Structure 1
Amino acid sequence: MTAPILEITDVHKSYGGYPALKGVSLAVRPGEFIALVGPSGCGKTTLLKQVAGFEDTTSGSIRIEGQDMAGVPAALRPTSMVFQKLALFPHMTVAQNIGFPLKLRKAEPSAIAAKVDEMIRLMELKPEYLTRYPRALSGGEQQRVALARSMISSPKLLLLDEPLSALDVKLKKVLQAELKRLHRSVGVTFVHVTHDLEEAMMLADRICVMRTGKILQLGEPADIYYRPADPFVAGFIGETNLLPVTVTARDDQRVAYRSEEVEDRDGTVPAAMAAEGVGPGPALMMVRPELIRRCREGEEMACALPATITELFTKGGTVQYRARTPKGQELAVEIQGTSELPMKLGEAVRLGWEKKDIWLLEPGEA
């Protein structure tokens, strides 16, 4: 296997008596796009600053390409960072901003100019922008300039601290696509902090979910979304439904369970469809809103229950419903939008889903 380009081992960081990172370990592969997500204060930006060298670790180690970064200042690390507020120099032209990292390294003016031209083409910026100042550019153009400046010194690791968070939705979509294109074209390893979960799902090869200074789960987007480690990850990475069940038995092949509300064809799922810690006793059945649909009259589905539609929201291409079961369980259901709504407010319906769409979890804080 290829050696990791970034190895974070048991890193702790405390500010006074407050522990911001609690033994974080993470290995990032060369050329990978990894997203760090989690609620505010979970430690994701703190971790990024440790890698960049802007802060020292309290304990633990960070290695880049096998070299221990302890004592290595930020300017000498093979990293570059794009900040949320961009930090473009207002008194410098676009060309001067982009070329600034090479100027600090005392590169020849002709070499800087050639590299700036290369970055302009890579970021699809117009050549006439080179003589303009940042204030004369749109928000999206400023983002491209910041990315060009971060890439001009050919870093091994590009660290992104929510660089798209302040943009409007339409522009953000455009730049997300640009970021994906940039990653593919240059082959640099990206570590991206974001609050936008859809952005993380779209861009990242793997997602790292953090909470209170720890990593809860690291995996590919589909694993994080459909096979979360616990109820918190399940609820944080998109809306979901968590229905209480009781597991009655588990072996290497099957998990047996029963539910007071869910009508289940055989009351079992393959063991691979349950989280590792699930065993006899209380558990939660997770099913995502888009995997639930209305049962047609006389249709038998693997899992089903009666419910009443209590709310609906049209979202253009989809319609999202809220439903309540006879025992008061709230459900979210999302289906493709049509010119006529398939379910109406106050309507009594039967909702169902397939066995392959179930994931069983241990109970816990969502």
Structure 2
Amino acid sequence: MTDAAPIIDASGIDKFYESFQALFDISLQVMDGEFVALVGPSGCGKTSLLKILAGFEQPTKGKLEIQGKSVVGLPPSQRPTRMVFQKLALFPHKSVRDNIAFPLKLAKVDMAEQDARIAEMMDLMHLPESYASRYPAQLSGGEQQRVALARSMISRPSVLLLDEPLSALDVKLKKVLQTEIKHLHRTIGTSFVHVTHDLEEAMMLADRICVMRKGRILQNGSPSDIYYRPADAFVAGFIGETNLIPVQIDGAAFANPVLKCAAPMLEEAQFSPSHAGSTGLLMIRPELITMHIKDAKPGNDTCIMTGQVEEFFIKGASIQYRITVDGVREPMIVDVLGTAIPPADVAQRVWLSFARSDLYLLGEY
């Protein structure tokens, strides 16, 4: 991030649908060339916010500037933005070439310029020249998605808005398109705002993630900050699987009857702003835990818990264990490196160790 002016500057945005308030005092800045993902549970307001940025909805209250100019009240056609919808809305009776060229025809761009830009976008989206004469029904889902992206980018918008465009694709094809979207963003330098339910997708693609809930932005930060330093227990549980250990807090010291630490102390940076009072939840991500088959002892920076294997799931590259630990509400989740023979079986007693420095203290729900 730099001191440059944001390309999108939204502040104090409220949105009512009759008596229902969908957005509360939303403020969001997007910098030139930045990739921002909006995530949150269904009904949290992320698509409403995206439609306000695009001009398909107007805010009930608040300021919205794009490239330093107010766009409140302006229709989508008068904004330097383009939107790719979940339902691609390609024209079934138009060829690939005509679908991609549609925005240029509306703008009355001359044919030579149209030809050059169509060729450029088809090459960028890995669409063979022979596809230009095909129709959407003759394309696979992934190819249709590429056509929709090419059409949205051909008029060279300053901001591309994506409303879950990959959600209907199978897992393998989605991975391919995610890679191409990341490459497209790096290549053209346009600002992207992407709504997605796929949290792994948000982590992979975005420079910054905004987590929303009930019409509000709970946290706005880098993928690493959101994942390892969540604002509260909701964000911690929503962005990936995690473990939350209830503890008593006395100053910088923490205590739990089943959590053994040689030095049960936290640094200032390990306290979430959401924490207050004499109790809290220690967060530790599953991949930061080591599982031992034999007795383990706490070290200077190592904490130990012991429990019993409740279940395990082979995920290929990793094996996920769920360990029942007395005094912890939910089974502890542990991810270990995948092996041909799982290291522990159901009902087996195991020890869990993790670095004290990897802990992060959150407030209780």
Q: Where does residue 358 of structure 1 map in the other structure? A: 359
Q: Where does residue 344 of structure 1 map in the other structure? A: 345
The one-letter code sitting in structure 2 at the alignment partner of 1:353 is: F
| Counterpart secondary structure, 2:266 | strand
TM-score for both structures, normalised by structure 2: 0.96
Distance change >3 Å, CA 264–CA 280, structure 1 → 2: farther
For 1:298 and 1:224, the matched residues in 2 are separated by 31
The one-letter code sitting in structure 2 at the alignment partner of 1:184 is: R
- Superposition deviation, residue 299 in structure 1: 4.3
For residue 300 of structure 1, the aligned residue among 286, 298, 302 is 298
For residue 271 of structure 2, the aligned residue among 245, 270, 274 is 274
For 1:264 and 1:280, the matched residues in 2 are separated by 21
The Cα offsets for residues 72-100 of structure 1, whole Å up to 9 and x where unpaired, read as 21101000000001110001000000000
Confirm whether residue 24 of structure 1 aligns to residue 22 of structure 2.
no
Instruction: Give the stretch that moved more between structures: 260-269 or 98-107.
Output: 260-269
For residue 257 of structure 1, the aligned residue among 233, 254, 259 is 254
- Superposition deviation, residue 105 in structure 1: 1.0
Do the aligned residues in 2 keep the contact of 1:12 with 1:24 (CA within 8 Å)?
yes
Q: How does 1:180-199 map to 2 (within 5 A)?
A: 180-199=182-201
Do the aligned residues in 2 keep the contact of 1:227 with 1:275 (CA within 8 Å)?
yes
Q: Where does residue 203 of structure 2 map in the other structure? A: 201
The one-letter code sitting in structure 2 at the alignment partner of 1:311 is: E
Q: Where does residue 222 of structure 2 map in the other structure? A: 220
Q: Where does residue 332 of structure 1 map in the other structure? A: 333
For 1:326 and 1:163, the matched residues in 2 are separated by 44
| Counterpart secondary structure, 1:269 | coil
Distance change >3 Å, CA 182–CA 61, structure 1 → 2: same
The one-letter code sitting in structure 1 at the alignment partner of 2:46 is: K
For 1:334 and 1:3, the matched residues in 2 are separated by 42
Distance change >3 Å, CA 133–CA 273, structure 1 → 2: same
- Superposition deviation, residue 328 in structure 1: 5.5
Do the aligned residues in 1 keep the contact of 2:296 with 2:353 (CA within 8 Å)?
no
The one-letter code sitting in structure 1 at the alignment partner of 2:325 is: T
For 2:220 and 2:73, the matched residues in 1 are separated by 28
For 2:79 and 2:262, the matched residues in 1 are separated by 58
For 1:136 and 1:297, the matched residues in 2 are separated by 61
Do the aligned residues in 1 keep the contact of 2:96 with 2:132 (CA within 8 Å)?
yes
Do the aligned residues in 2 keep the contact of 1:246 with 1:280 (CA within 8 Å)?
no
Q: Where does residue 317 of structure 2 map in the other structure? A: 317
For 1:278 and 1:99, the matched residues in 2 are separated by 54
For 2:187 and 2:114, the matched residues in 1 are separated by 21
Distance change >3 Å, CA 298–CA 308, structure 1 → 2: closer
TM-score for both structures, normalised by structure 1: 0.96
For 2:111 and 2:226, the matched residues in 1 are separated by 47
The Cα offsets for residues 144-182 of structure 1, whole Å up to 9 and x where unpaired, read as 000000000000000000000000000000000000000
Supply the RMSD in Å over aligned alpha carbons.
Answer: 1.1
Do the aligned residues in 1 keep the contact of 2:24 with 2:216 (CA within 8 Å)?
yes
The one-letter code sitting in structure 1 at the alignment partner of 2:279 is: P
For 1:297 and 1:23, the matched residues in 2 are separated by 52
Distance change >3 Å, CA 69–CA 14, structure 1 → 2: same
For 1:115 and 1:348, the matched residues in 2 are separated by 63
Do the aligned residues in 2 keep the contact of 1:159 with 1:190 (CA within 8 Å)?
yes
Do the aligned residues in 2 keep the contact of 1:247 with 1:279 (CA within 8 Å)?
no
| Counterpart secondary structure, 1:351 | strand
For 1:278 and 1:96, the matched residues in 2 are separated by 56
- Superposition deviation, residue 113 in structure 1: 1.8
The Cα offsets for residues 283-320 of structure 1, whole Å up to 9 and x where unpaired, read as 00000111111245454342111100010100001000
Q: Where does residue 290 of structure 1 map in the other structure? A: 287
The Cα offsets for residues 194-233 of structure 1, whole Å up to 9 and x where unpaired, read as 0000000000000000000000000000100010001110
Matched positions, count: 359
For 2:361 and 2:90, the matched residues in 1 are separated by 48
For 2:107 and 2:116, the matched residues in 1 are separated by 15
Do the aligned residues in 1 keep the contact of 2:291 with 2:336 (CA within 8 Å)?
no
Q: Where does residue 231 of structure 2 map in the other structure? A: 229
Do the aligned residues in 1 keep the contact of 2:297 with 2:304 (CA within 8 Å)?
no
Q: How does 1:111-190 map to 2 (within 5 A)?
A: 111-190=113-192
Do the aligned residues in 1 keep the contact of 2:243 with 2:332 (CA within 8 Å)?
yes
